[in-house]
Chains A and B, each alone.
Chain A
Amino acid sequence: MQPFTKLTGIAAPLPMINVDTDKIIPAKWLKTIKRTGLGVALFETLRYADDGSERPEFVLNRAPYRSASILIAGDNFGCGSSREHAPWALLDFGIRCVIAPSFADIFHNNCFKNGILPVVLPKEQVDLLTREATEAGDPTFTIDLERQEIVRPTGNAVLKFAVDPHKKHCLLHGLDDIGQTMQRQSMIDGFEAKQRLAAPWLYREVA
């Protein structure tokens, strides 16, 4: 996983609530057995008309947002399915950070596993950033994970954000969870030994 330390880039406003995972990437794209190449299908139905041409009104089809690396979204972003294809598509497009008043749990988790930082801010602050991203001549923001700060194009006061310390640590260093857990093997062995005594039926052949 690519570490996430400090990101400076264009922020695209997408003030829609309940943007579900089918909207981020429709099911027909889930037939892939790879993680890459999904960027073209990101927000497919919002981005393209039925004949495949771009919808000029959609934010990611407009300059300068076409090269956005930050997305400022509405409530409950990423609701719906567990498909990790959603963050894969965002990443493949070039989005490394999503800011919203709230996220769906599984999507939120999936972002961290892919080097994408989801930032939760109070709704008023998200509204404010949405306005700035819409109105600023150059909507470039900086997201500093170490300091947990958002630097705004207006030069107004930085906004602080909260982040789970374990997830922050993994993101900053690009750490692979599995590798860390493998080092705890003896704890897992110990757990299994105890559970096997307490609930032996959990250890019979199941299929």
Chain B
Amino acid sequence: MAGPRTLFDKIWDAHLVDQQADGTCLIYIDRHLVHEVTSPQAFEGLRQTGRRVRRPEATLAVPDHNVPTTDRSQGIAEDQSRIQIETLQQNCRDFGVPLFDVTDIRQGIVHIIGPEQGFTLPGMTIVCGDSHTSTHGAFGALAFGIGTSEVEHVLATQTLYQTRPRNMRITVSGELPFGVTAKDVILAIIGTIGTGGGTGYVIEYAGEVIRGLSMAGRMTICNMSIEAGARAGLIAPDEVTFDYIKGRPMAPKGGAFEQAVQMWRQLPSDEGARYEKEVTLAAAEIEPQVTWGTSPQDVVPITGRVPRPEAEADPNRRSAMERSLDYMGLEPGLPMTEIRIDKVFVGSCTNGRIEDLRAAAKVISGKRVAPHVQAMVVPGSGLVKHQAEEEGLDRIFIEAGFEWREAGCSMCLGMNPDQLKPGERCASTSNRNFEGRQGKGGRTHLVSPAMAAAAAVAGHIADVRKFV
């Protein structure tokens, strides 16, 4: 019937339960991830209306945002955090939702554990009350963040009302230069299209560079789609995807796996499929990136300088830049490599996977964290932590002067005790440099794990290419 379709079109069409005359679609949701911060009011809503969870077995809950990253076998000291986590535990018991609890080795950041367990699979629709649900798009799944009212809607009905987003393709062609990683690619993309550049779209990432990335790199890319305003990010599944999935605890096994792969092979966009918007980046022109401001689009190559607001023509943007620079305590024209830092954070759903830890460890190995810098590694999950310890990465970090923590969101958003103090400056592998994101008055520079490690050693923002 219809002509060539995109990966997005195929997943969307396959999940349409109903389409109303005005274009509103009711779509089916295959998997639902739940965490402690955005779910209490949703479960409360179910209770008040006497509704149940339609498919508890398609739902998976984990506490991640509030958990302390120090020893928690003795419970959680902070009252409100503890209450929120206890509320999640109670809700999971009452509604029969599977839970990876605080001391379970499988506990971790919701967007790390889904893929790790094989809960995330190609062709699925996946939601979570969390904007970085876009991460799961790396598997060729349509995955997006929702609000708490929608969490309740999915719990009760396993569906959502949506208007069909538009297709955008971003092609990264050529070959990545030395020292440039997936994090640099996505920061460069956001710098190019802006934080509103993807609004209303689902972005499909394509091109040799994307094809050549590991699943970890692909997840880093899709993770930050939301920072470009996109509804979701997508990457076509291929052998790299299938190899990653095979043997994961919740993935299909044996004949079912073969059958699934057969279907997944049909997912990539058809030749000649139409995109409403196309953007192309040449990999050769991408350098390691670092942000200077308070929006992820405020990004420059490491060889660059803090920009000058006078050069900005649009008055709204100019005043936003001035405000950012004031908040960040930076002088226009300063070379990025001269920015002195106080903290380093390696972790988050963007860069808390084993590959990220390996990349940071490689830079730090045999070196020392600068004396004035406090650096910490927070693995994305208990299993990532375990794997890193098997590989001896914990020793490398600890010997270099890093703190080695338990899994969680941690300083990515500072809901637990890991926070920046006012005025403190951090090289962070997380995804948001908003004002106050990592703690009130804290100043965030977004970088890749290797760049964060280089900054830890140098004591200032540094070019990782000079360290390896």
Residues of A within 8 A of B (CB): 15-18, 20, 22-23, 26-28, 30-35, 45, 50, 74-76, 79-84, 87, 102-106, 109-110, 113-114, 164-166, 177-178, 181-182, 184, 187-188, 191-192, 195, 198-202, 204-207
Contact = CB atoms under 8 A, between A and B. Distances in A.
20 contacts: A16-B320, A17-B316, A17-B320, A22-B434, A27-B413, A28-B414, A30-B415, A33-B40, A33-B44, A33-B83, A33-B84, A35-B148, A79-B229, A82-B130, A82-B147, A110-B149, A177-B153, A178-B153, A181-B156, A181-B157
Contacts of A178: 45, 49, 51, 152-153, 156-157
Interface of B: 17-18, 20, 22-24, 26, 28, 30-31, 37-38, 40-41, 44-45, 49, 51, 54, 57-58, 60, 65-66, 80-81, 83-84, 87, 98, 117, 119, 121, 123-124, 129-131, 133, 144-150, 152-153, 156-159, 161, 163, 195-196, 199-200, 229, 231, 250, 252, 256-257, 259-260, 263, 295, 316-317, 319-320, 323, 413-415, 422, 432, 434-437, 440
Nearest to A86: B147
A166 B157 contact: no
A17 B18 CA distance: 36
B199 A102 contact: yes
Given A31-B84, A102-B199, A177 B161 contact: yes
A185 to B, nearest CB: 8
A82 B232 CA distance: 13
Nearest to B133: A82
B196 A76 contact: yes
Contacts of B229: 76, 79, 104-105
Nearest to B87: A33
B432 A22 contact: yes
B320 A82 contact: no
B163 A31 contact: no
B147 A110 contact: yes
A75 B319 CA distance: 13
Given A17-B316, A76-B196, A188-B17, A81 B84 contact: no
Contacts of B252: 201, 204
A169 B221 CA distance: 37
Given A81-B145, A200-B259, A206-B57, 10 more contacts: A17-B320, A27-B413, A27-B414, A31-B80, A32-B80, A35-B148, A82-B130, A110-B147, A166-B23, A181-B156
Contacts of B156: 178, 181-182
A191 B28 contact: yes
Contacts of B20: 166
B286 to A, nearest CB: 23
Given A22-B436, A31-B81, A202-B30, A104 B199 contact: yes
Contacts of B231: 105
A117 to B, nearest CB: 15
Contacts of A165: 22, 24
A23 B49 CA distance: 33
A28 B119 CA distance: 30
Nearest to A46: B435
A154 B366 CA distance: 70
B24 to A, nearest CB: 4
Given A30-B37, A191-B28, A113 B295 contact: no
Contacts of A81: 130-131, 145
A87 B57 CA distance: 30
A199 B161 contact: no
B157 A82 contact: no
Nearest to A18: B295
A106 B41 contact: no
A162 to B, nearest CB: 13
A84 B320 contact: no
A50 B124 CA distance: 46
A191 B17 contact: yes
Nearest to B128: A82
Given A23-B434, A45-B436, A184 B316 contact: no
Most buried by B among A76, A80, A166: A80
Nearest to B30: A202
Given A199-B263, A207-B60, A166 B256 contact: no
Contacts of B415: 27-28, 30-31
A195 B161 contact: no
A141 to B, nearest CB: 21
A-B pairs with lowest CB-CB distance, top 5? A207-B98, A201-B252, A113-B149, A110-B147, A33-B40
Nearest to B83: A33
A184 B58 contact: no
Contacts of A192: 28, 158
Given A33-B84, A80-B432, A105-B199, A22 B437 contact: yes
B85 to A, nearest CB: 10
A97 B17 CA distance: 31
Nearest to B66: A31
B159 A188 contact: yes
A80 to B, nearest CB: 6
Contacts of A16: 316, 319-320, 323
Nearest to B250: A206
A15 B320 CA distance: 10
A35 B42 CA distance: 10
Given A32-B80, A105-B229, A191-B28, A184 B17 contact: yes
Given A22-B435, A109-B147, A195-B28, A74 B316 contact: yes
B150 to A, nearest CB: 7
Nearest to A1: B149
Contacts of A32: 80
B314 to A, nearest CB: 9
Nearest to B152: A178
Contacts of B153: 177-178, 181
B17 A202 contact: no
A94 to B, nearest CB: 20
